[in-house]
Amino acid sequence: MYYSSTSALTRAATARIALRRSTVASRRNVTSPTITAEDKNLIPIRTNLRGSALLNTPRLNKGAGFTREERQIFGLEGFLPYDVHSLEKQCLRAYNQLCKQPSVILKHAFLASLRDQNQVLFYRLMQDRLKELLGVLYTPGAAEAVAGYSSLFRRPVGCYISFPNQDGMRAQLEGHLTDVNRTADVAYDSNKPDDAIDLVVVTDAEAILGIGDQGVGGITISTSKAALYTLGAGINPNRILPVVLDCGTDNHALFSDPLYMGWKRTRIRGKNYDQFIDRFISNCRELFPNAIIHFEDFGMANAYRLMEKYKNIPMFNDDIQGTGAVALAALLSAIKVAGSRLSDQRIVIYGAGSAGMGIADQIKDGLMILEGLDKEEAARRFWCVDRNGLLVESMGNGLRHSQMPYARPDAEVEHWTKEDEDKNGIWLMDVIKNVKPTVLIGTSTHSRAFSEELVREMGKHVERPIIFPMSNPTVLCEVDPADALAWTENRALVATGSPFPPVKLGNGKEYVVAQTNNALIYPALGLGAILARSKTISNSMLMAGVNSLASLSPALSNPEASLLPDLADVRKVSVDVAAAVVRQAVEDGNAYDENTLRYAKGKGDVSLEDYIRGRMWDAVYRPLELVD
């Protein structure tokens, strides 16, 4: 019979797979809870699916990559063309198809469709061409996909929790947990339900990638961010739950869209909002007690206070902490190149929103943890400018809570020289002339705000000015790196939020512009916290990750090189950063996984770094084993 697993041919193929599986298993050290990074992908995944059911399961589907043996065992010969193609050949085909898509939004849709058909192929294609395709999967491609979510919708991905349906929230989350538990090979060390989810990526979609409130379309940000955890640090995609909390929307254009799929009500605020978030967090903690909760693109009014409110659980806000962490890593690299110290810096931040204040907070923590300054001393190293000018104490209630520590005393600025005495407020050029900063960071989304006059003024007083125009996308960047270097006689140390090509310096040299991409740190931070089973993500763990990332800077050995590692090397970088996070968690008494503790203390059969590599998910086709 065609589907029979009892034929001689099928029995022989099954026996060969079983022998391969037992051979790999026999190579385990009996004291090791994991196999080596080289062997882990040889252990078969067990499934009872056959034929079209197997082909329609993206976690297991290999398409033309199914071997001859697998086609016989799983009844696939009548469902696939004859030739067997390698994963590399499949990637080439998929890439050629992608390149034929005429726009970024269609390229994004193609990648989403590929992910929904063949999980391994999607991640392998992305991994092999990460720098090229990141802008399609995430920004700016994701921003277009979010805005057009309801018109582009094909199939649901992730978890949708709406305010009017919140009474069923637990059941909705349990449904996804049940789905994960039915998935082959998702558990690391057990099949307990509370081990099935490692990471929850959640958004309320109020502040999406510079395009604001996008309602239910925010699920695309959660799924894209989840994919970056896998691409950056090898977190098993089947153990990540992307979530959108549909709190309504204040984007009234969505109300008039007949295709809009979310809850057509104004966004909930106050007590209703807080209770909704509390309910979600409580359910996650009960159902996924070991999971990290990643907050993404919450509005500024909520982002800071929720981060403070839930600081005693393993949670992380990428917009605040991730942006700040990668900026601090670049800054630590820059000051080493400049031969200075962090505490010697005078730091001007242009753009005092969540990203700018997150950067200030992270650098402030660095000043406290790394150089022993107290909170007030550290805050005095900053001058922050927003749309109303320099933050000063007399702004009173006009200051957000996150801005208050950085407001300058009015007496300090009372006698400053101003360019326009008739203009209210103290503006960026005034700050540059009076403070003479060593560091200028832009998070304003004010295109070309760092003018030639301003950059030259800064460069007059500083030997190696550190200039980080971090606004995304490229068109909103505060200064082109080539201009920043030209206006400072190539003395500036530059990092940007968007990717830029190397800058020609003359004499055959070029300056490689670092991209302060959060993906260099937050996936590794998550991986380290997951492996340690940390109860919180502490400032010291975050700082350990920052220090590790900074230590990998190519600029430390070549002044013209990038201040940060290349994004193409993110998987290698993540091993070192995750190891640093784990070791800090152990030192803090915040690591509760016995296996990870043993390796972190040097008592395992391999190094901690090798142990981490062995726990990372790889985009490869593993053998399949048929079970009844």
Feature table: binding site for (S)-malate: 472, 517
What sign does the CA torsion over 26, 31, 36, 41 have?
positive
Residue type, 153: F
Token output for 229: 């955890």
The answer to whether 246 and 262 are in contact (CB under 8 A) is: yes
Strands (E), 332-417: 347-350, 382-386, 389-390
Q: What are phi and psi of 440, to 5 degrees?
A: -130, 120
Which residues pair with residue 200 across a beta bridge? 241, 293
3-state secondary structure of 58: coil
Q: Which residue shows structure tokens 């300056």?
A: 511
Strands 240-246 and 315-317: unpaired
From residue 201, alpha-carbon distances to 227, 235, 240, 430 in Å are 10, 13, 7, 41
Q: How far is residue 496's CA from residue 127's CA, in Å, rounded to a whole number?
A: 22
**Residue among 286, 280, 283 nearest 302 (CA):** 280
Which helix (H) or strand (E) segment is 515 a member of?
A: strand 514-515
Residue 352 C-beta-side C-alpha neighbours within 13 Å: 25
What is the phi/psi pair of residue 466, to 5°? -105, 115
Q: Six-digit token pair at 307?
A: 């981060």
Q: Assess contact for 608 and 580: CB atoms under 8 A.
A: no
Bond into 502 cis (ω within 30): no
Handedness of CA 191, 162, 220, 203 (dihedral sign): negative
**% helix / strand / coil in the chain, to the nearest 5?**
50, 10, 40
Whether residue 126 contacts residue 227, with contact meaning beta carbons closer than 8 Å, is answered with yes
- Contact between 282 and 313 under an 8 Å Cβ cutoff? The reply is no
What is the CB neighbour count within 10 angstroms for residue 69?
Answer: 17
Cα–Cα distance measured from residue 337 to residue 343, given in angstroms and rounded to the nearest whole number = 15
Which residues are known to be catalytic?
Answer: 138, 225
> What phi and psi values does residue 626 have, to the nearest 5 degrees?
-80, 130
- List the binding residues for a divalent metal cation: 296-297, 319
Name the packing angle between helices 119-128 and 130-137 (round to 10°). 120
Which segments within 224-352 are labelled E, that is strand? Answer: 240-246, 292-295, 315-317, 347-350
- C-alpha dist (Å) from residue 73 to 4, 50, 59, 78: 8, 8, 18, 12
Buried b (16+ CB within 10 A) or exposed e, 330-358: bbbbbbbbbebebeebbbbbbbbbbbbbb
Contact 325, 545 (CB under 8 A): yes
CA distance 227 to 121: 13
CB atoms within 10 A of CB 457: 15
Q: Copy the structure tokens of residue 463.
A: 């030997």
Binding-site annotation, residues = 296-297, 319, 472, 517
Cβ atoms of residues 329 and 564 within 8 Å: yes
The position carrying tokens 């990638």 is 209
